[in-house]
Amino acid sequence: MTVQQQMKTLSHFMNGVETVGISGRFSEVFNPSTGEVLAQVPLATKDEVKQAIKFAKAAFPAWKKTSIGKRVEVLHRFRQLLLERQDELTDVICEESGKTKEDAKGEIIRGIESIDMAISAPQMLKGEYSVNVGGNINAFSAKAPLGVVATIAPFNFPVMVPLAITSMAVAVGNAVILKPSERVPNSALFLCDLWKEAGLPAGIWTVINGDKEAVNELLENKNIQAISFVGSTPVAEYIYQTGTKHNKRVAAFGGGKNFMIVMPDANLEQTANAFLGAAYGAASQRCMAISGAVVVGQDTEKRFTEVLKEKILKLKVGPYTDKDVDFGPVITQQSKETIIRYINGALEEGANLVTDGRNPSICETSTGFYIGPTLINHVTPDMTIFKEEVFGPARFIVGVESLQDAIDLINDHELGNGVTIFTNSGAAARKFQEDIEVGMVGVNVPIPIPVGYHNFGGWKRSKFGEGHMFGPDQARFFTKAKTISERWPDESEDTTSSFAFPSNQDSTIK
């Protein structure tokens, strides 16, 4: 028996059951902490995606007609099951993503915030009503689900993002197809069991594993009404352009280059501690991770670098099974090699290495995809490491002379996902909030990611489309409005034909 035959083979989830892939194409799922292959995941054909859409489309009408109260009951049960089995799910996340247990548990809790928001769907679905807008006509609006919608999730949040982009879609009455990252399919398949146990009808929640072939079918298929995507900026732009070309509603969330402005009056000890977690947590594989510090003033830059270096050298990198580690590996060997190329490139372009994580000590005893916390200073805006998103623990410091210089530097960048400022000056914070051109802004908050009941989304090339993740915009994105005018004439009423455009001043309307 070959190694591939012995390897665990995963499935899709269609029409309420696990479904074996038939394409004959597979992608390997790694344990990043050890470098070992956990399983192989099937990559769906276009025909398999079409079949999944067919099941979802058939299930949609009954779910649409299910009362909102009944739909919310399913979400309540799903939420409870998620809490009861969060330890199991934590282990699944850790094994296939390399996250620490603390980080994985935090991800689950943030995912539950999206379920909580979805449970408020009855409030989100309320329409408007006007009595006697003219001629005894009442006007009101109603919100309806779109139908079959597709969601495409990244590897870095195997649970939080899928919950964030699907929970409300399910609650308001859609049938949802999730294509998770082929790097972390086990977490999505775990959620399938919970939805099924919670009582969600077959076909309303589908997981289809795949690569670009599957994605293209979702983007082009006329039965898919909307696409919600989270991933890199180049792919987000492709998703948006292709999806809208095929007349779909699209919200595509791309990458971020998230800066932390450090003012001279900031408490550098507190600011450095905030930087550590925000910059290096989850091996920097977060779209809201701090990419670099923009430090105002040469003296502040020098002191901040010294404080940060001392703290970085104490950080511990290792497997999630070690409760003392600060963060784990990156997702693949290819990712590790890419990050090292960014570091080497910055040094070749004239930057200075403050701490070197290219060969952490754990590499001597492990085949996992580890890279230690790296800090680079003397970085300038023309350097590649400044311009491009680096999805790994290579962070940098840029020095500027004033707050205005810092704001201009950030506003000139093509990405505008998140940004934060550390200061004790209310005037500086106010100027920063008003002038910065970024979608999510923090003041003395290291990672300004909104809670589940506020909208999430960046500006510029960090987001394509008008939808948001989290918040009330989720309900708006996954529904369409219908406006109804009704009148019930009295049988004895004498009506005559009118050829004038109707208005509330029309005297022919009795």
- The reported pLDDT for the residue numbered 505 is 63
Q: Which fold has domain 3-254+462-482?
A: Aldehyde Dehydrogenase; Chain A, domain 1 (3.40.605)
Could you confirm whether 363 is annotated as catalytic?
no
- For 66: left if phi > 0, alpha if psi spans -120 to 50, otherwise beta; the answer is beta
- The reported pLDDT for the residue numbered 504 is 67
- The reported pLDDT for the residue numbered 494 is 66
Q: Is 173 exposed, middle or buried (0-12, 13-18, 19+ CB in 10 A)?
A: buried
CB 172 within 8 A of CB 28: no
Q: Say yes or no: do domains 3-254+462-482 and 258-450 share a fold.
A: no
Residue segments in the chain with a per-residue pLDDT below the cut of 70: 1-6, 494-495, 504-510
The length of the chain in residues reads: 510
- The reported pLDDT for the residue numbered 6 is 60
Helices (H), 172-225: 185-198, 212-220
CB 411 within 8 A of CB 437: yes
CB 288 within 8 A of CB 277: no
Q: Is 492 exposed, middle or buried (0-12, 13-18, 19+ CB in 10 A)?
A: exposed
Q: How far, in Å, CA of 208 to CA of 308, rounded? A: 44
| DSSP element (H, E) containing 339 | helix 333-348
Domain ranges of the chain: 3-254+462-482, 258-450
The upper half-sphere exposure of residue 486, i.e. CA atoms within 13 Å in the direction of its Cβ, equals: 8
Q: How far, in Å, CA of 128 to CA of 142, rounded? A: 8
Q: Which fold has domain 258-450?
A: Aldehyde Dehydrogenase; Chain A, domain 2 (3.40.309)
> Dihedral of CA 305/308/314/320: which sign?
negative
- Find the largest Cα–Cα distance for the chain: 93
- Nearest of 97, 98, 92, 89 to residue 328 by alpha carbon: 98
Query: What burial letters (b/e) apply to 249-264, b meaning 16+ CB within 10 Å?
Result: bbbbbbbbbbbbbbbb
Q: What angle do CA 249, 186, 199 make, to 5 degrees?
A: 70
Q: For strand 175-179 and strand 137-145, is the pairing parallel, antiparallel, or unpaired?
A: unpaired
Q: How far, in Å, CA of 478 to CA of 491, rounded? A: 41
CB 217 within 8 A of CB 425: no
Report the first-to-last Cα separation within the chain, whole angstroms: 84
CB 75 within 8 A of CB 119: yes
Q: Is 416 exposed, middle or buried (0-12, 13-18, 19+ CB in 10 A)?
A: buried
For residue 470, give the DSSP letter. Answer: S
How many of the other CB atoms lie within 10 Å of CB of 344?
12
